[in-house]
Amino acid sequence: MPLHSLSHGAKQCTALTKRTKQPCKNPAAYGCKTCIMHGARKPETIKRGKDHVNFVHGRRTLEAQAEQNAASRRLQQLEDAMHLLGMTTAKRSRGRKANGYTKLTSLDDVKKLLK
């Protein structure tokens, strides 16, 4: 049975319980996504980037990772372009492709890439 405050419009905690993996049934703390048992913090008080206590060098920040991902995607698409243009007969690189990568399949795609 849901708590009284939940039936009156309070948001429910978004955390999953560790033991049963079921959604927490507590109401979320005021202005937070989770209840006090699951580390309720207001979004504006959560420290990010340089302000975070575990920040060391900045190579793993969201911005740095997005930048790395974009560069990796660009490199993989340039490899596609080289194969399409017949510039190389080398084996394709293996492994996971970057997020957002779409394989270039025609010369029109290559032209769009180079613009």
Instruction: State phi, psi for 27 to the nearest 5 degrees.
Output: -75, 145
Report the alpha-carbon distance of residue 32 to residue 63 in Å, rounded: 25
Residue 35 binding Zn ion, by CB under 5 A: yes
Residue 26 binding Zn ion, by CB under 5 A: yes
Which one, 13 or 104, has the nearer CB to Zn ion?
13
Q: Are 6 and 23 in contact (CB under 8 A)?
A: no
Which one, 37 or 87, has the nearer CB to Zn ion?
37
Residue 40 binding Zn ion, by CB under 5 A: no
Which one, 26 or 77, has the nearer CB to Zn ion?
26
Q: How far is the CB of 23 from Zn ion (least distance, A)?
A: 8
Residue 32 binding Zn ion, by CB under 5 A: no
Figure out which of the listed residues 12, 27, 29, 38 binds Zn ion, where binding follows CB under 5 A. 38
Stretch that binds Zn ion, among 15-23, 70-78, 85-93, 94-102 (CB under 5 A): 15-23
- Side chain identity at 29, as an amino acid letter? A
Whether the CA torsion 78, 79, 83, 89 is positive or negative: it is positive
C-alpha distance across the termini of the chain, in Å: 59
